Structures are given as structure tokens and as C-alpha cells.
Amino acid sequence: MAACVNNLIAKVAAGQLCKAFGIRLYPNPQVVQLAKNAGFDSLFIDLEHSTLSVDDASQLCCAGILGGITPFVRVPYQCGNGLIQRVLDGGAMGVIFPHIHTAQDAKAAVTISKYPPLGTRSMTGQLPVFSLKPTPPDQVIKESNASASSVILMIETKDAIERIDEIAAVDGVDALLIGSNDLAIELGVQGGFQTAVFGSALEAVSNACRRHGKIMGLAGIYDNYEIQNWAINTLNVRFLLCQQDSGLIAGGAAKCIAALPRVEMVNGGSVRYKQTLKKR
């Protein structure tokens, strides 16, 4: 039984964009099917900024594997190797590591994510990426190291930008993912995604990714066609966190209320309507 297809690797190989759906609120695996129906290619399951558990993440990962939408899990900063091991054994096909500062951080991420001889990940049996079927260890090692344990490093600090070339040069790293909000704050331009200093930082990451054959990703900038178009077509971003469940619920709720006629209660309960919809 071969490991599942990693859509990030497959999409990039085909010159396409891998579109990620973020999950930080809703643990029910049915949300994975909704993401699949909408056309997303991967999941960004967030254990850093949420109360989701490892079990929640595993159930979402397994639903993603069954549905053909590749599951990635962001772990908390400095969470320890044990949690990363459990996330991978639970079905994640890659780990997103926040707040990478140095090449040493990058090497440590690779080491815990990969089986020997590339790393030190511990072996177990009946993994979700192999459909829980007994699989020869040599096959598990080969296929997991190649495509079922992507190492995605978040670039969201000033010192990471200063060391971006040495970080990008680390063998075993698959992608460098911009954490836009934290990076902008670090650079002194909170929310300034269209400033020169923020743009220059992204260009530095793009250049390093091209030099060292890494995938560039972008997170934290949603519903902004101008920046996303520049990122995809100029910076060569191929992994995009398009939105999160919380943002979609909030945006959809606001849109729903805005589309309703305004209702006022008058005279002890009778109703008067004021149509606020624009004429079409």
C-alpha cells in the first residue's frame, strides 16, 4: 500500500498553486468535506492559535487523507519532539513549524520529522497515510521521508529574514511560509503589507527559495487580490493559506446580516420593514 499523494508536492511539480484551508475552531471532520467541495487542496490544522487537541487534529487529518485533501498541522512554538511525533503518527502529512529563527531551528525541524537516516523519528505501525495497513518498514521510511512528512517553516521574524539564505539551504526543508502578521510587526509596519519594507522582506524569501529549490508560501493575507496576485505571479508563491474557518464564519455571518431587510419593532410588537437592499 503506497502512501497518499501529497498535493503540495504534486501541485508544485505541475506548476500550480496549492490552496490551503485553515482550521482553528471546528473539529468536526465534516468541515474537511466542505473544504474539499470548495476546491481546496490541503488543510492547515492549527494547534498553535487554537484549543484543538492532538486527537482533533488526527481526526481531521484522517478525514483529509480519505478525501484526498492533504493535511498539514501547525504545532505550537517550542512544543517539543514528542508532540511532533504524535501529530505525524496521527495522520499529518507535514508539520508547520512557527517562529523559525536560524538554520539550527530548521535542521531540528527536519530531524524530528524524518525517519533515519535523514532524521530521528521513531517507527510505529499502521499509519493513517498507509491506510492503517501493515507496511514494510523500508517502504514506510522511503515514502514518508519523500512525501508524507513535509517540513514547512514559518518565516515571521526579522532575524529569520536576515538569515534567510542559510535557512533555505537546509536539506529536507520543503517550504518557507511567510507569517504575514507577525513578520509585519517585527519589521515595525504592523498591518503594512503594502509597505516597501514588508515587500523587500518577501522578495528576499522569494529569492532564497529560488536559489535553493524551496517552495514559497504565504499566510495571513486574505481577500486581497492585489497582494495575492503579486505573490503568486511575481514572487512565485505556490502554497497559499486562503482563509480560516473562523474568518469564513465571521465574513459569512456579516454578509448574511447585511443582506437582510432592516426590521424595527414598533407599537408593542407590530413590525415595520425598511428595505436596505440595493436595487439591482
Q: What are the tens digits of pLDDT across the range 116-135?
A: 999 999 999 899 999 999 99
Say whether pLDDT at 277 is over 70: no
Residues classed as catalytic: 49
Question: To which residue does cell 471532520 refer?
Answer: 29
Three-state SS for 254?
Answer: helix
Q: How far apart are CA 18 and CA 172, in angstroms?
A: 19
Average pLDDT over residues 25-38: 96
Pick from 1, 37, 42: nearest CA to 217: 42
pLDDT band of residue 280 (cuts 50, 70, 90) is: very low
pLDDT band of residue 261 (cuts 50, 70, 90) is: confident
| Domain map (residue ranges) of the chain | 7-247
Q: How far apart are CA 77 and CA 37, in angstroms?
A: 32
- Please state whether beta strands 262-266 and 215-219 pair in parallel, antiparallel, or not at all (unpaired): unpaired
Residues 6+ apart with CB under 8 A from 68: 4, 5, 7, 36
Cβ neighbourhood burial of 32 (10 Å; 0-12, 13-18, 19+): buried
Model-level pTM?
A: 0.93
How confident is the prediction for the chain on average, in pLDDT?
A: 93
User: Helices 103-113 and 81-89, interaxial angle, to 10°?
Assistant: 40
Three-state SS for 104?
Answer: helix
Any long-range contacts for 79-86 (C-beta under 8 Å, 24+ apart)? 79/47, 81/112, 83/54, 84/112, 84/113, 85/112, 85/121, 85/122, 86/54
Three-state SS for 31?
Answer: helix
Considering only the top CATH level, what class is 7-247? Answer: alpha beta
CA distances from residue 130 to 6, 119, 138, 144, 197 in whole angstroms, order as listed: 13, 20, 13, 10, 45
Pick from 140, 114, 111: nearest CA to 127: 140
CA distances from residue 52 to 25, 46, 220 in whole angstroms, order as listed: 7, 8, 19
Three-state SS for 182?
Answer: helix
